[in-house]
Structure 1
Amino acid sequence: MDEIEEKYKVLLVDDEPIILRSLKVAIPWDDLQMEIVGEARNGELALRLIEETTPHIIISDIRMPVIDGINLMKEVLPKNSKLVFIFISGYGEFEYAREALRQGAFDYLLKPIDHDELVEMLYRAKTRLDEQKENDQMMHSVQMLSMLARERMFAEITLGNARPLEHLKWLENSELESGYFMAVVQLDDYSVLTGQWSVEEKRLWLFAIRNIVEEWSLEHGVLTVFPFHNGEWILLFPGSLSASRRELGEHLITGIKRYSKLSCSVGISRCTQGIDQLSTVYPLAAKALYQRFYYGLAGVYIDEETTFAGNTEVKYPKELETSLIESIRTLNRNQMSSLFDELALYIEAQAIPKEIAERLLVEMVVVLYRHFEHLNLNSDWSLHGLLSKLHHLVTLSEMMSALKEEFGERLDQGSKPVNREDTRSSIEKTKRYIESNYYKDLSIEEVSELADLSISHFCTLFKQITGYTFLEYVTHCRMEKAKDILQSSNVKVYQIAPLVGYQDPRYFTQVFKKASGQTPTEYREEHAKQAN
């Protein structure tokens, strides 16, 4: 007679009765070999039920009165490291979700709850618990621990900012040290799509694509996946899969098309080694990706050593590209014009045939266009239109004149005072938005999108105009509001913390003291004396 499989015990913790009811009814607990052993409306009651029921899995809201989800987890995990925590998070609670993963959470899902997604998580949780039964060891891989924490870090390093490495010594022996290659996935006609979507539709579409890409990545051995620019995702594959690069890319495109009905293209880099090489291979994968503009077809494009078919002695002028990028960054039209002249001389000196010269120019153009895009200087400027114009010109002189004119006009627009005023207006708008929403879990992506600026450009301009970094200004607004509450009410300090955007009262006290030189209690007492 088969032994009856013991069910895993599940505790539900949420202060919204409707969510508790939906979780009990909508999830096939028997099929999962799980049973609900208790329900709690807050973290304090949950602590008592955990002692009484000894659950294997806890599904908890991340924000709750009395004791929030993260502090609940901090309280119980030291006593039972095998507990599986799954958090329910609001859309704007990225920092809380990331902190939860850092502290040992298994996973999280966003409201409104997708029950199919939760079932999938629970199957994975069951697999993990089954493995713990066999070897009594908790799975604690880098991949699982840091899904959200590593996204920002990888993006920063890909942009060439190595500062996150100073605080991430645990990554020195990560999977990236063994060799990997990068795939850049981008939705085709993204600018057209975003013109058709509302802000909410855009958020939902990007979230849906992200889920598709992440699920595909789990099934195909991807080391990590993270969003980079809007409409673009980066996947890192182990070098051992290098021989299957094209097949992997085609399979990914098919999967995205099947589930979203949207087409995309994939650019894939050569293999490299070491996390510090992310900023080196990204331009290679991105440049490969943009080959679709002169082939005219969506698909998979793989970076190879830079030579041109039919004339293997023609090398791509990387030094000129670097100098042209610098002229864009500094808005120096004269320097750009001179560099285009140098490029023309290079092509003439090599006696490069027209077809190969055009391919070289197109490759250069898509790289430069991308840098204009990063600086938000390409509004109402179609890359497809520019490349089409280039293709219909006959002589090298005509092509170079067209490039000087097109790129020069964009540099002039970026230099105009009216643009600076528009930019200042955008920054002022984001300041007002932060001042009205300081208590929320604001992300720099959300606010830079409101300003219609790239993240890097927004950071630079926000600091120049306000004197604060984005995070400094959010903190400033929160501290000013906290001071108002402390002076005008008797609300307890631990209750003030969530009112100004901090879930952990102790952390709020630390930030307040650093900002004002006093604890919240000391500040209140001092101003009470002054009032008397």
Structure 2
Amino acid sequence: MHKVIVVEDDRIIRRGICQAIPWGEHGFVVAGEAGDGEVALELIEKEQPQVVVSDINMPFMSGLEMAKQIKERSPETRIIFLTGYEDFKYAQEAVKLKAFDYLLKPVDSEYLLEKAIEAAADWEKESVKEKRILESLPLLQQKFFQKLIREGDYRVDVENELLGLDVQLEGPFFGVILVKNTIELDLEGHFFKEKITSFISSHFNELSCLVMNADVGEYTILLSLENDHDSRKGELAQALFNYLSKEIDDTITITHGRAYPNMFEIGKSFLEARVAMDMKHIVGTGKVISLDETVSKCDQKEELIHDLELKLENQIKSGLPEKADEALFDLSTAIVDRKTVALADLKVLALKFSTMLFFEIEKWKKEDTTSSFNSSNVYKEIMELRTLTEMTEMLHSLIEEWSSAMYKKRENNYYSHVDQAIKYMQGNFHDSSLTLQKVAELIHVSTPYLSNLFKIEKGFNFGDYLLELRMKKAMELLGDGNIKTYEVCERVGYSNPQYFGICFKKYTGFTPAEFKKKFK
């Protein structure tokens, strides 16, 4: 049965609506009635009715005021307004409040019942839709993370995919924690996730985060962080591990990746947490593992091997693939001579240097959309390594990939997407509609892709560069002294003089008027 509540200050009309209309025959039960909005709100909050039939003009609290609060207390409730006043302003307000319908008194009983049936059907349709979305969300989340593992964060538009899953985090930095239990705890798959969510809400409620399904018995926690060294990620991982270990009779392993400054880079953090989780067979289960802690184990070796590792690391950082290949050969030779490095240590070593080489390859090859390079596949190869030779060959192939991409770019006198974007911005900074999305569309790349390229290639972001272009031109114009501030505002791409003034003072330390007076 659908619930209906009648709100009308005229007692006779109210009783007529409640008793004269055969509600029960059409699947309704009158769950309550009230003579004003204040009394009705208590009823509505308690009963959560599908339909409310209400007069608009009532004492104490009008129907419109009541409707505003209903949207907060019982947002799915459909409201049908009744009024004896043919005043358009009431209809306007009713539309703004998304009322289901607006009927003029005296209203025909059959017509009111017909509208109530339509309202209940609309509620039912929306309810089924939302239920399907909620039921399918865990599967959609799993598909997203599986796609990320299969294709890598470079080929997946992570930001748009997350928005499609209704993921909204403020940042400014983002990180991932991955939680794994060895067996699924129930057929519904809710119990483990609810434990995680409940703990975070109770003990880390100030931390903006979201728990998502990553796989069977595996959950991802997406986090908003203050900076890339935010200690709360590690604190949450350890505290959650301690809690789950006591609550659940199962082996729990928790891993976490690094923090990144862009939402679309959260894919990197997930893949790092995923790699650390795959390494649990090497470093052990039933603990908290971070990628940084995992790769740092490479430093616990004999002095010669340690020195050669540092040499290889420095050659990669210096951008010298030939020298890096030589250092790799020396390192593998030293390991053979010592005969003391375990297979587990080799895998961790491979993980450390492959991670560094991924970055170099992506830096030089990011414009090549036809490239088949996939870091996720290499991570899988690491887990299957059995010999030092296999490790050396894998790293050697990555160095060759890096070298090839580097020299191909230089030989072709490569003109990057960022260079194209900058050239366009320099000629069009006066356009007030100029945005990252607009520029990305003009040069035929995605918005997150271009944003990432700015940071990696140039060391600054799109917004900062656009601001600098506009402010330098504004300073030049104001320095002439014969131009009005509002004219400068328009000529450098601002439609709002007040906002222009705020940006100008933030950039120069002076208001436009102060700058003009001081430097003309």
**TM-score interval (norm. to shorter):** 0.3 to 0.5
Kindly name which structure, 1 or 2, has the bigger radius of gyration based on alpha carbons: 2
TM-score, normalisation: structure 2: 0.42
